[in-house]
Every structure is written in structure tokens, then in C-alpha cells.
Amino acid sequence: MPHPDPHHISWLMVLIVSGLIAWHFFADRRFIDPQDEDARRRRYKIAWEVRGMVLAVFVPFAAGMLFGYTSTDYMVPLGLFLIAGLLVAESIAPHGLRIHR
């Protein structure tokens, strides 16, 4: 089975992650009721779980690139993946546990 061209995969990832980032900036914002403390705590926990999952993917690939085990062709999509993941986590819990007024 032939290996996929890293440049094609890289451009595909750039397009997908750029679309996710654009969606984050242009999406309709929904705010939760500031009085619902349980929902805020639940969203805060989920946001940290998303950050953890993004870093669990990002760190090994970045370390592999640093030490030469992984091709640096994936550097741009990996960086965009990190940015998109952190933006999604921020959209889940926009102000953490603080009440925004």
C-alpha cells in the first residue's frame, strides 16, 4: 500500500483546521445562565478535558519533530490543531468559573 503524500495530508489538515477556527470566530455565541453553577462547573471540567486531549495529541508529535522521529511536514497543521483545540475549549467555558456580567 503506497504511503500518502505528506504535503497533501498537510494541506487537507490546514483546510480543515482553518475552517474550524473560522467557524469559532463567526459562530453564534450562546451564553449559559450565570446562576446555573452546576452547568458552569460541568462546562469548565469539559473544557479542561478538551485541552488535555489536544495536548495529548500535540506533545508527542511535537517531541517527535524536535528529536527528528517525525517529519516536520506536519508542523503547520499540528500548530493549527493546537490553536483550534484551545479555541474550542475556550468556547465551551468562555470565562472559566467566573460569572461574566
Domain ranges of the chain: 37-101
Q: HSE-up of 56 (CA within 13 Å, CB side)?
A: 6
The pLDDT mean for the chain works out to 78
Top-confidence residue, 88 or 35:
88
What is the DSSP secondary structure assignment for residue 2, as one 8-state letter? P
Per-residue pLDDT tens for 6-17? 677 777 777 877
CA dist., res. 78 & res. 13, Å (int): 8
End-to-end CA distance of the chain: 57
